[in-house]
Amino acid sequence: MEYVELSKDLKMSKIALGFWRLNDWKMSKEDLLKYLEEAIDLGVTTFDHADIYGGYTCEKIFGEALALKPELRSKMQLVSKVGIKLISKNMPENTFHCYDTSYNHIVKSVEKSLKNLNVEYLDLVLIHRPDMYMDADETAKALTDLKKAGKVLEWGVSNFLPSDFNLLQSRLDFKLVTNQIELSPLKTQHFYDGTINLMQEKRVPMMIWSPLAGGEIFTSSDENVVELRKILEKLGKKYNCSIDTIVYAWHLAHPANLIPICGSGKISRLKSAVEACKVSLTREEWFDILVNGMGKDIP
């Protein structure tokens, strides 16, 4: 599999594997380790986490599996996210659901992720959501100090609109290397709000969460989704692949350098995502998917 270069120090696989629902997969440590090895064998080496996933449990589950074979660490890129506080029995000190991009919270969160994942550094950490109470100078100091300490190789953001991105970037002496956004044929707002344009302008690759619209592409009875499925099935027959492969290929075809995240614990679904690297949609096919996903023609 080809890799996407985010910086001179960080390359990521064109398909990432996400662990938002790891707690629901109910895998033993041994089964999870086997899955990680299978993913790496497929060329999927970028693993996406967040401190809050699974009510603050998923990183620890992953770390326990990795501890069974620590040498795998050198073959993977570990991504995490910070900046959200959830009320959880696993974090009794959190008494209010809010965003927190303060220096102390960011540093504490990264330290906890390192401990839970059982590693000495993270390849990439993202500010999880724009914080309307952010002190950009204070946030930037936390990012800078953790980078200088070698605990975080690169920094990025998630769900940031252009103004959010530009504000934080203006306080940093190094480049934010990604913006992880929601995008699918059913969720196309970032083509129109300037987010994708800004990232392409700055040559910043984007990670994509929920590329299959949370499964809605396969299950919704909405008229536009039904029509979209017909298009995907037609293209699946043409390219001899599944319809989810076609959706991943739709992301990979875009010139802005998109890295879709597969969030499944099933190796068959991950293989379908990887197969998209072999599919080259035409411009007309790409727009056919876009238009049917939106349920209306472009102007």
Question: How far is 237 from 131, CA to CA, in rounded Å?
Answer: 45
Question: How far is 19 from 183, CA to CA, in rounded Å?
Answer: 18
Q: Residue 257 is inside which H or E element, if any?
A: none
Distances (CA, A) of 208 to 148, 204, 257: 28, 13, 10
- Is 192 labeled as catalytic in the residue annotation? no
Residues 6 or more apart in contact with residue 215 via CB below 8 angstroms? none
DSSP assignments along 140-189, one per residue: HHHHHHHHHTTSEEEEEEES--HHHHHHHHTT-SS----EEEE-BTTB-G
Q: CA dihedral defined by 94, 100, 103, 108, rounded to 10 degrees?
A: 40
Which of 3, 35, 53, 56 is the catalytic position?
53
Question: What one-character DSSP code corresponds to residue 71?
Answer: G
209, 178 in Cβ contact below 8 A?
no
Active site residues: 53
